[in-house]
Amino acid sequence: MVALSFQHRASGHGLRVALFPGAWNPPTVAHLAIARAALTWSDEVVWLLPRAFPHKSFDGAPFEDRLHMLRRIAGDHAQFSVAIADGGLYVEMADEARDFFGPAPEIALLCGRDAAERIATWDYGRPGVFDRMLERYPLLVAGRDGDYLPASRHADRVIPLPMGNGFDEVSSTEVRDRIRRGVSWRHLVPASIAETAASLYC
């Protein structure tokens, strides 16, 4: 197992780490709100960019530009880190993190409702992968565009994170579409990456 490659590290390291995988094409204010919500459980949020995705092609912004945007966001928040993962599945990234951190701290995976539903029903090619992942790593799920309702056997390993209103329609796809159509979009991305997003997607 190859450990994570950190590109930016939080200023303080605690007993709980939340891993936040994504494509970040680009990161949005909804992603930032999810990461902030995770700090109610964790001491550090690691924004993870995998080298390859199991469910989508690597289209849009180049890999290094996505990393640049994440580093800009992390630079504004003392408890945010940025790392590259070799694996593309959530369980692979979590195992890489465990390899990096060792037996401590406690590691959780962070996502929104849509991602939780996707990884819970993903065809892993063998049974029980999602169950075993939750045994090792709890799942922090932000209540965005509806609440995630886990199976009863998973209820004690899924931790809901309440979010404020106004994020249900915010997505990377919406940002790219608005830029393409030439309509207002800057309010949908963190201010620190607005100029980078403009140069990448306009």
Here the CATH number for the domain that contains residue 121 is: 3.40.50.620
Side-chain-side CA neighbours of 91 within 13 Å: the count stands at 13
pLDDT reported for residue 154: 96
pTM of the model as a whole:
0.95
Nearest to 87 by CA among 77, 99, 96: 96
With residue 142 as reference, give the H or E element that holds it. strand 139-142
Whether residue 61 contacts residue 25, with contact meaning beta carbons closer than 8 Å, is answered with: yes
Residue 77 above 80 pLDDT?
A: yes
Number of domains, the chain: 1
Mean pLDDT of all residues in 106-119: 95
Residue 15 above 80 pLDDT?
A: yes
pLDDT reported for residue 59: 83
Nearest to 45 by CA among 27, 59, 63, 60: 27
With residue 8 as reference, give the H or E element that holds it. strand 5-8
Residue 2 above 70 pLDDT?
A: no
Mean pLDDT of all residues in 43-49: 97
Whether residue 201 contacts residue 174, with contact meaning beta carbons closer than 8 Å, is answered with: no
SS (H, E, C) 30-85: HHHHHHHHHCCCCCEEEEEEECCCCCCCCCCCCHHHHHHHHHHHHHCCCCEEEEEE
Condensed to tens digits (0 to 9), the pLDDT of residues 118-173 reads: 999 999 999 999 999 999 999 999 987 778 999 999 999 999 998 888 898 899 99
- Label residue 1 by pLDDT band (50, 70, 90): low
pLDDT reported for residue 144: 78
Residue 180 above 90 pLDDT?
A: yes
What residue numbers bound the domain in which 105 lies?
5-201
Share above pLDDT 70 across residues of the chain, in percent, rounded to a whole number:
99
